Every structure is written in C-alpha cells, then in structure tokens.
Structure 1
Amino acid sequence: MVDNIGSQAKAVEQPVFRGIRDIYQQVLVLQDKTIIAVPEDGNVIPISLMNIPCRDESLEKDKGNPIYLGIAETQLCLCCENSRGQPILKLEERDIMELYRTQKAEKSFVFYRNETGNISTFESAAYPGWFICSAVEKGKPITITKDVGRDNTAFYFDLRD
C-alpha cells in the first residue's frame, strides 16, 4: 500500500490505516467517545487510526504534512475546538473521505504531522503550537497541549496491514 502522507497530496481511493502508541508503550483504545492511553498487553484491542492528506494548498508549508485523522471502522474523526477559551481535543462524527474531498480545509480537523526518525508529532492547524499528547499516567485520555516539554507529544505511527 502506498503511504498517502507526502507533501504532494495526490488523489487517493481510501485512507491509510496505522497503529499508534506513545513512547511509554501505551496503545490507544476507544472508550465511549474518548481515546484513552493504556498499557499494551493481550487484553486490550488498540484502535487503528485512518489518515488521509488534506488537499488544501493554502495551508502553511513549513508546519509538516497536513492530514485528517479518524478512528478505523467508525465515523469518528479527531478535531480541536474551543472550550472556555482553550482548545480541546475531541472526536466528532464525520466521514474522513468527505473531509478529504473538500478542497478547502476544515482546519479544526487538520493536524500537521512531523516525523523525526520513527517518532511523529501532531500539531493542530486550527490552534498552532498545540499538539496531541498522552499522559505518563496509564488510563488517561489523549488530549492537546501547548506544554510540549512537560507533556508527551511523541508517538509511533506505524502502518497496519
């Protein structure tokens, strides 16, 4: 399968499926409509994330590869929105392919993916300087932070078959 995250977004038939875990070897699971980081073991079924490029050419070029992120086998996509004057990360029911087909980006759903070796970070396009993060404590929700030095923003984002 071709990885569709390159800076030159081409027409794609479907999203790429990836496994995701943080640097503490916690995998992500879906609990109700919340993504939780839990220790990787045989008793949990981690989510696969779908990702597909954002085709809006007007987005900043130096931030990373703009992508949409969704949870496989659901109609749930990750987005950032304002809550009491601060951005929050949430899941919203949307078709990731519908987001992809839209020429103008819905910035609340766009994340800039940056890679250093096999580690990825995901910065919100709607809230520059805010990154998807996990807590060191097990069983905590995935959130968004601007305190990159204190909170974990590094993830392994591996292709799934």
Structure 2
Amino acid sequence: MKTGNCNSQAQEAAEQPNFRGIRDIHQQVLVLQEKTLIAVPQDVDVHPISMMSIPCRDQSLEKDKGNPIYLGIAETELCLCCEESGEQPILKLKERDIMELYRNQKAEKSFVFYRNATGNISTFESAAYPGWFICSSVEKGKPITITKDVGKNNIAFYFDPRD
C-alpha cells in the first residue's frame, strides 16, 4: 500500500498531462492532417484532436508572461514547437514525448508557450520568440501557424477541459 502526504499526491497528479479540447473563436476545431494542424468548422463528421498540456517546471522563465506550458497532441508523440525558418519563426509539430519535456528541469524554450487566459479564452505566446502567438486563419481549412501580427490573425482559443 502506498502512503504519502497530500503534497506528494498533488505532485503526482500534476505529473500527468491535462487533456483539452481546443477551438478558435470562429468555432473551428483542430484536426491533424499528417504532421499539420488544420482549423476546420466543427461538424459531426469531423474528429478534432485532444490537446495535452503540462506545466514547464523551469523557474528561470519570465514570470509576467503567463503560465509556461508544453502542448502536445493526445495519442501521438507530437508536440508543438517554434523554430526559425528563414527570417521568422514557424510553428511545427515535432516527435517528442511531452512527459520527457516535463521531467527536464531546464526548459526547451522552442517547445514552451505562455498561456494567458481571460475568462474561457486563451492565447499562447512562444517563449522562444516573444511577441509571436499561435494563430488560426479566418479562412476555413488553413493550417495553424504562428504570428506577430495579432490584428490580422486570430490568436484567441477556447481551451476546454476534456472529461
């Protein structure tokens, strides 16, 4: 029989990713096509992904940016990251174990996003590229990308807990 105090039980609970549904403010859900996230209208024939999130434990990250988290796609080994391509960053899905990222005391910044929530709306800013946010297009069926032009792109998402 395992014994322990409430703190160790809470810590164990925190060591599992949270599963969440994600959709943009235009009610588009995210689907996985090969290794690309696409925003499509919600429909009975559409099977949206479940997003996994888990906190980044690196205490050296900026404190005023939001909650630093890792984001991954449930039932895959794919995690969201930002990498430079040419003169600007791009959003990619890379094969990584989200729990491996979590266990590292030092953050892999390209995989860290600052989540800011206002009510039930969240934004996700890249830790590696400050001022760049995960975004969806107002056009349906377009890939999820990253932008610094927040006025032209949608950076607001519903990040709903899944049962």
Band the TM-score falls in, shorter-chain normalisation: over 0.9
Count of residue correspondences = 153
What pairs with 1:10-159 in structure 2 (closer than 5 Å)? 10=11, 12-159=14-161
Where structure 1 has 5 or more consecutive residues not aligned to the other structure, the ranges are: 1-9
Bigger Rg, which one: 2
State the shift of 1:150 in Å: 1.0
RMSD value, Cα: 1.1
Secondary structure at 1:70's aligned position in 2?
strand
Distance 1:144 1:43 in 2: 27
Distance of 1:152 and 1:13 partners within structure 2: 31
Q: Distance in 2 between matches of 1:97 and 1:32?
A: 22
Deviations 1:142-161 (A, max 9, x none): 00000011100000000001
- Which one has a larger percent helix, Structure 1 or Structure 2? 2
Deviation at 1:85, TM superposition (A): 1.6
Matched residues in 2 for 1:30 and 1:118: separation? 23
Runs of 4 or more above 3 Å deviation:
none
Corresponding position of 2:6: none
TM-score computed with the length of structure 1 as normaliser: 0.93
Residues 5-42 of structure 1, C-alpha deviations (whole Å, 9 max, x = no match): xxxxx552310000000000000000000000000010
For 1:3, the equivalent position in structure 2 comes to none
**Deviation by residue 1:16-70 (Cα, 9 ceiling, x = unmatched):** 0000000000000000000000000101100000000000000000000000000
Separation in 2, partners of 1:151, 1:139: 14
